[in-house]
């Protein structure tokens, strides 16, 4: 069998709006309009073979740029046997190394192709991808959803969701306290403190201590991902589990975070960490350090979600899968079939390969418009009054007494 062609399918995706990632919006409930907003894109990849078997994959991590990278990689893959996945991964990694160390853009390009190769292999052998990864540890995967308000949290709880994550950095303690009071002790709560503007390690340590009484499952991305020593400082200062890793890719990119045991939960993005090939290895490295895996799914589309389900079915240390419940309603029309969460779980697919395809006609109706935006928010408490339009990557938090307190 030989690879004959690789095609990309880039689409503009609707809600959630990009500013919601760093602001205090009620992210994760039904308050979004259904229009095309923001700059979220999904990039799907199809690998074609001379035997008529077609594999599908997805790349996150700046899809509009990655589309070009996938088309560039094509020239070193045409004519190759798609079932030799590890060999082709090594070939791609070696080829892009000439451009420097690989981040989520290069790894994102490899990811979509790698995912499609696993899909092809499963289809050829007539087995689901989870079977190629060692078989099932579980036949359904727990998901968590996003809620920033008690109302959104209770709505998700009523639909069976058992874990929620609030996001943004506006009044985090007050927000977490309100959520805990609303949902009680049986629901897991997490908070994502991501920037920009990223917190300083000192601020994050102080905030982590303030959050201790609420028994969070984890605090995510308390500081910028490039400051691993800062993670050690927060760990030494507070007794709260930490999670990170969504912006890192490949075994090499996540190695220090895992081997230094700076987190309790690692969150590689199934669409940009380097493919199923790398996700399985990253999970094994985490397993050796008793670290759980909770794949990131912030900007992720529905094909990579399938890949995550196959991976999580097969690894012992899968914690749960991030999911945007009440995502843009076009999501359900983008893939066939569209998975439904039932009582807080997604069923593991049983069809050969990944068990999913895209509706190419539907995808073509939403051409990419843009894929970058400013995500800063005045609500983060990090700007002096009147200067909130400045974009600063790391900044200390002002008015700590207000932002780091549960009092109104
Ligand atoms: Mg995050």
Convert the pLDDT of each residue in 385-407 to its tens digit. 666 666 788 888 888 887 888 88
| pLDDT confidence of residue 298 | 62
Asked whether residue 44 is assigned to any structural domain, the reply reads yes
pTM given for the model = 0.94
Amino acid 378: pLDDT: 64
For residue 352, report the distance from its CA to the centre of ligand 1, in Å: 31
Residue 158 sits in the same domain as residue 83? no
Whether 90 and 149 map to the same domain: the answer is no
More confident of the two residues 27 and 91:
91
pLDDT exceeds 70 at position 329: yes
pLDDT of amino acid 377:
61
Is 310 part of the annotated catalytic residue set? no
What CATH number should be reported for the domain holding residue 23?
3.30.390.10
140, 70: one domain? no
Q: Are residues 206 and 180 in the same domain?
A: yes
Average pLDDT over residues 274-303: 94
For residue 269, being part of any structural domain is answered with yes
Average pLDDT over residues 73-96: 98
Question: Residue 103 burial by CB count (10 A; 0-12/13-18/19+): exposed, middle or buried?
Answer: middle
Looking at residue 25, what is its pLDDT?
39
25-34, 99-108, 196-205, 328-337: range with lowest mean pLDDT:
25-34
The proportion of the chain whose per-residue pLDDT surpasses 90, expressed as a percent, equals 76
pLDDT band at 22 (very low <50, low <70, confident <90, very high): very low
Ligand 1 centroid to residue 264 C-alpha, Å: 15
| The domain boundary residue, chosen from 109, 126, 143 | 126
In the chain, the number of structural domains is: 2
What integer pLDDT is reported at residue 397 of this predicted model?
85
**Residue 139, burial from CB neighbour count under 10 angstroms (0-12, 13-18, 19+):** exposed
pLDDT score for 376: 60
Residues 251 and 139 in one domain: yes
- Using 50, 70 and 90 to split pLDDT, how confident is the model at 63? very high
Spatial distance between the Cα atoms of 123 and 246, rounded to a whole number of angstroms = 29
In this prediction, residue 27 has a pLDDT band, given cuts at 50, 70 and 90, of very low
- Does residue 197 surpass a pLDDT of 60? yes
Q: What is the pLDDT of residues 110-142, one digit of tens each?
A: 999 999 999 999 999 999 999 999 999 999 999
Q: Is 34 exposed, middle or buried (0-12, 13-18, 19+ CB in 10 A)?
A: exposed
Residue 214 lies in a domain: yes
| pLDDT tier for residue 45 given thresholds of 50, 70 and 90 | very high
Give the Cα separation of 311 and 315 in Å (integer). 6
Q: Which are the contacts of 113, defined by CB distance < 8 A and separation ≥ 6?
A: 6, 45, 47, 57, 70, 73, 77, 88, 92, 275
Ligand 1 center from residue 299 Cα (angstroms)? 10
User: Domain ends where: 107, 126, 145?
Assistant: 126
Residue 256 has pLDDT above 80, yes or no: yes
CA 199, CA 190: separation in Å to the nearest integer? 17
- Range with the poorest average pLDDT among 45-49, 244-248, 296-300, 375-379: 375-379
Q: What is the CATH number of the domain that holds 269?
A: 3.20.20.120
Asked whether residue 373 carries a pLDDT value surpassing 80, the answer given is no
The reply to whether 162 and 275 lie within a common domain is yes
- Residues 216, 322, single domain; the answer is yes
pLDDT of residue 352: 98
The reply to whether 119 and 40 lie within a common domain is yes
What residue has token string 């998901």?
143
Tell whether 162 and 85 lie within a shared domain.
no
Query: Residue 22 C-alpha to ligand 1 middle, in angstroms?
Result: 10
Q: Are 311 and 285 in contact (CB under 8 A)?
A: no
Q: Is 391 within the bounds of a domain?
A: no
Q: How far is the CA of 194 from the centre of ligand 1 (A)?
A: 6
Q: What is the pLDDT of residue 293?
A: 98
Same domain? For 110 and 208 the reply is no
Out of 66, 98, 126, a domain closes at 126
Phi, psi of 129 (to 5 degrees): -60, -35
Any domain includes 364: no
pLDDT for 37: 57
CA of 168 to the centre of ligand 1 (A): 9
Q: Indicate the average pLDDT of the chain.
A: 90
296 is catalytic: yes
**What gap in Å lies between CA 263 and CA 52, rounded to an integer?**
44
163 shares a domain with 85:
no
- Tell me what pLDDT residue 374 has: 64
- In terms of pLDDT, which residue wins out, 379 or 73? 73
From the CA of 315, how far away is ligand 1's center (Å)?
Answer: 22
- Does 187 share its domain with 310? yes
Would residue 92 count as lying in a domain?
A: yes
Tell me the range of 36-45, 354-363, 370-379 where mean pLDDT is highest. Answer: 354-363
The whole-number average pLDDT for the span 11-33 is: 49
CA neighbor of 114 nearest in space, from 53, 58, 43, 52? 58
With a cut of 90, say whether residue 195 has pLDDT above it: no
Per annotation, catalytic residue among 99, 239, 289, 296: 296
Look up the domain containing 243 and give its range: 131-354
Q: Who wins on pLDDT, 295 or 326?
A: 295
Number of H helices, E strands in the chain: 14, 14
CA of 272 to the centre of ligand 1 (A): 14
16 located within any domain:
yes
In the set 146, 194, 310, 403, the catalytic residue is 194
Cα distances (Å, whole numbers) of residue 180 to 2, 215, 275: 55, 9, 36
Domain membership of residue 372 (yes or no) is: no
Burial class (CB in 10 A: 0-12, 13-18, 19+), 181: exposed
Ligand 1 centroid – CA 282 distance (Å): 18
For residue 220, report the distance from its CA to the centre of ligand 1, in Å.
Answer: 6
């Amino acid at each position: 069998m030989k690879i004959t062609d690789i095609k990309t399918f880039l689409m503009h995706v609707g809600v959630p709006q990009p500013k919601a990632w760093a602001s205090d919006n009620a992210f994760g409930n039904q308050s979004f309009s259904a229009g095309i907003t923001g700059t979220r894109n999904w990039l799907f990849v199809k690998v074609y073979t001379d035997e008529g078997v077609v594999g599908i994959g997805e790349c996150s991590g700046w899809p509009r740029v990655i589309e070009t990278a996938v088309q560039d990689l094509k020239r070193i893959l045409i004519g190759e046997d798609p079932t030799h996945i590890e060999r082709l991964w090594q070939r791609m990694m070696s080829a892009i190394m000439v451009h420097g160390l690989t981040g989520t853009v290069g790894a994102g390009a490899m990811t979509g192709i790698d995912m499609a190769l696993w899909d092809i292999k499963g289809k050829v052998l007539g087995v689901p991808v989870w079977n190629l990864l060692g078989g099932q540890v579980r036949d359904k995967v727990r998901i968590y959803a996003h809620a920033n308000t008690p109302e959104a949290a209770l709505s998700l709880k009523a639909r069976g969701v058992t874990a929620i994550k609030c996001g943004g950095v506006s009044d985090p303690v007050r927000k977490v306290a309100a959520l805990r009071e609303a949902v009680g002790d049986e629901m897991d709560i997490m908070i994502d403190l991501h920037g920009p503007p990223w917190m300083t390690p000192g601020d994050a340590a102080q905030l982590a201590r303030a959050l201790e009484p609420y028994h969070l499952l984890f605090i995510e991305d308390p500081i910028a991902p490039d400051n691993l020593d800062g993670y050690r400082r927060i760990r030494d200062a507070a007794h709260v589990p930490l999670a990170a890793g969504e912006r890192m890719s490949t075994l090499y990119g996540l190695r220090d975070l895992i081997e230094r045991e700076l987190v309790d939960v690692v969150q590689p993005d199934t669409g940009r960490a380097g493919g199923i090939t790398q996700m399985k290895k990253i999970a094994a490295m985490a397993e050796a350090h008793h670290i759980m895996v909770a794949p990131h799914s912030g900007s992720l589309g529905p094909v990579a979600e399938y890949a995550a389900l196959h991976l999580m079915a097969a690894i012992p240390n899968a914690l749960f899968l991030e999911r945007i419940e009440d995502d843009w309603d076009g999501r359900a029309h983008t893939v066939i079939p569209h998975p439904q969460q039932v009582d807080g779980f997604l069923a593991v697919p049983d069809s050969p390969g990944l068990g999913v395809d895209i509706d190419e006609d539907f995808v073509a109706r939403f051409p990419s418009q843009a894929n970058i935006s400013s995500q800063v928010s005045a609500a983060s408490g990090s700007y002096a009054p009147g200067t909130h339009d400045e974009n600063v990557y790391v900044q200390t938090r002002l008015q700590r007494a207000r932002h780091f307190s549960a009092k109104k």
